């Protein structure tokens, strides 16, 4: 406790902690170890920034173990994924921890910039709906970032195996919104939100991932200028570089496209015959086709996300109150059918 009181966080923060948060901080302090990070100080700093913890004590203990984890001696296993700029391997360390090791060659300068950006972003983040970063390492000619291993892969893989019910789309979308709300509160724009960049655990927990194209905004009035990302999910203001810039609302547009993708098991569909007409449609503010067979509530949610004017789009926090994803209507779906197909 003496170490906690001597931390850089204002002591007044302690007066506003819940019982679970106090237990979490005390566990982090009691089980501190020279080879681990200064967990209790990190947690206090997170709480001071508004990231509250209200889960049960068992979950808190699990969070402690993840925060204190530092990968020292590890072995690279099988290749489990390959993205546009990095390869992902299954890794394990001498303590028996399994994790994902995402690596890029130090000679691939353009790809290296993406991974270094992802490292810088993830080191700042700590939320249950964002993939956990365990650290980094340079090994020979490779730079690795060590990430939480999410057993059931991406939402894209999931919907290709099984059609989602709307209850599942609602459940997943709410968690995506929770992650986005936290991300935007940390002044970070994801920049490439789509099912291929969202992971799902065996219990249906959503984890936002792939922050290589994410951008940090120093203040909420700032606009980002250079837009990158995936065309089908790209907001008009990102695609149209003649405009003033883009910010948090671009993630909301991508969320609308992602909800459409989950519901239809297809990439967002546009009335476009080729790449040129697709680009023209997106720049003009035309969103993807929203099928008539979706429920009115889901269609309304998607259409709110796909407002052509970014200033007219609701925030992630606002959308958490939408009937499609609010607490009363968004219950844990039966995931058994889905998970047996992995």
Whether 300 sits among the annotated catalytic residues: the reply is no
Annotated binding site for Mg(2+): 197, 210
H or E, element range at 143: strand 142-148
How far apart, in Å, do the first and last CA atoms of the chain sit? 45
- Retrieve residue 181's tokens: 């709300």
How far is CA 209 from each of CA 148, 155, 176, 196, 255, rounded to the nearest angstrom? Answer: 10, 11, 11, 9, 14
Annotated binding site for ATP: 102
Name which of 128, 139, 277 is nearest 199 in CA terms.
128
Annotated binding site: 102, 197, 210
Q: Name the 3-class secondary structure at 135.
A: strand
Name which of 187, 211, 183, 188 is nearest 198 in CA terms.
211
Please pick, among 56, 126, 192, 219, the residue that the annotation labels catalytic: 192
* DSSP per-residue codes, 150-199: -TT-BHHHHHHHSPPPHHHHHHHHHHHHHHHHHHHHTTEE----SGGGEE
Name which of 294, 319, 289, 317 is nearest 304 in CA terms.
319
How far is CA 84 from each of CA 130, 210, 320, rounded to the nearest angstrom? Answer: 20, 10, 31
Q: Percent helix, strand, coil in the chain (nearest 5)?
A: 40, 15, 45
- Retrieve residue 278's tokens: 């697709």
State the catalytic residues: 192
């Amino acid at each position: 406790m003496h170490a906690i009181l001597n931390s850089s966080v204002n002591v007044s923060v302690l007066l506003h902690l819940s019982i679970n948060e106090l237990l979490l901080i005390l566990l982090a302090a009691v089980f501190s170890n020279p080879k681990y990070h200064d967990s209790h100080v990190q947690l206090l700093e997170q709480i001071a920034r508004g990231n509250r913890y209200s889960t049960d004590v068992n979950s808190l203990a699990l969070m402690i173990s993840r925060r204190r984890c530092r990968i020292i001696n590890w072995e690279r296993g099988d290749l489990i994924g390959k993205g546009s700029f990095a390869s992902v391997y299954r890794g394990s360390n001498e303590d028996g921890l399994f994790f994902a090791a995402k690596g890029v060659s130090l000679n691939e300068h353009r790809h290296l910039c993406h991974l270094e950006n992802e490292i810088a972003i993830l080191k700042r983040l700590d939320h249950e709906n964002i993939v956990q970063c365990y650290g980094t390492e340079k090994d020979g000619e490779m730079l690795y970032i060590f990430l939480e291993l999410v057993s059931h892969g991406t939402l894209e893989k999931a919907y290709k195996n099984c059609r989602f019910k709307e209850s599942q789309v609602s459940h997943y979308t709410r968690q995506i919104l929770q992650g986005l709300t936290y991300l935007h509160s940390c002044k970070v724009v994801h920049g490439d939100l789509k099912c291929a960049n969202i992971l799902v655990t065996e219990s249906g927990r959503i984890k936002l991932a792939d922050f290589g194209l994410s951008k940090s905004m120093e203040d909420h009035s700032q606009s980002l200028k250079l837009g990158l990302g995936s065309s089908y999910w790209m907001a008009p203001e990102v695609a149209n570089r003649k405009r003033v810039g883009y910010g948090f609302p671009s993630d909301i547009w991508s969320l609308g496209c992602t909800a459409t993708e989950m519901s239809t098991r297809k990439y967002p569909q546009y009335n476009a015959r080729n790449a040129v007409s697709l680009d023209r449609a997106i720049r003009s503010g035309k969103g993807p086709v929203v099928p008539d067979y979706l429920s009115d509530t889901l269609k309304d949610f998607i259409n709110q996300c796909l407002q052509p004017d970014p200033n007219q789009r609701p925030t992630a926090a606002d959308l958490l109150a939408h009937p499609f994803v609010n607490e009363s209507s968004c219950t844990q779906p039966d995931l058994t059918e889905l998970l047996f197909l992995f």
